Amino acid sequence: MIGRDARRGALVAAITASLAVAAVARAEIRELRVRLPERPPPTGAEPICTKRLVVARTEGAAGCFIDERVTRVPGALRYPCTGNGWAKASFGNALFLGRIESGQVDLALNTEFDFSDGCVWTTDQRLRGAISDDALAYTYSERPRPGQRGCSSSCRAHARARLEAMGATP
């Protein structure tokens, strides 16, 4: 009897595996489309301007831990001097990426951190504004990853990122 049950189990396993292969063979194959950038990054031939970014302090998050990356060290904003194209700002190893269009910058940095409430949090940090102004607006918002329970309340912050001239590189 034991041998017969073992053979029956092996037969059921073989049939199940065959059905799974057949289902995969009939499955619809979907094309994965990768969205290409509208314009390639600078080639190095166009002049790149650099401005120093200084954020003295953030406001609006009293009593909160926030995972902001802009007050620890001064930053550097790099963008095409023409005022259109890819742009980036770095504060230490934190890299904000985005675009500049007609002199208007919009850069983003997203981070994740584990908090003492046992939840994993994500942040959305933005730098926005006109290069011609003396500052960009910095905003910070956070939220726990979806599906978690018992997380603390979220916090928001904002700041002024002062722009200082640094010159252009050919």
Q: 160: which strand partners? A: 137
Q: What pLDDT, on the 0 to 100 scale, is given for residue 168?
A: 55
In the DSSP assignment, the letter for residue 44 is S
Q: pLDDT tens for residues 24-56?
A: 333 333 333 434 445 555 455 679 999 999 999
Q: pLDDT tens for residues 87-124?
A: 999 999 999 999 999 999 999 999 999 999 999 999 99
Structure tokens at 46: 């166009």
Q: pLDDT tens for residues 128-163?
A: 999 999 999 999 999 999 999 999 999 999 999 999
Alpha helices, DSSP H only, in the chain? 2-26
Q: pLDDT tens for residues 118-135?
A: 999 999 999 999 999 999
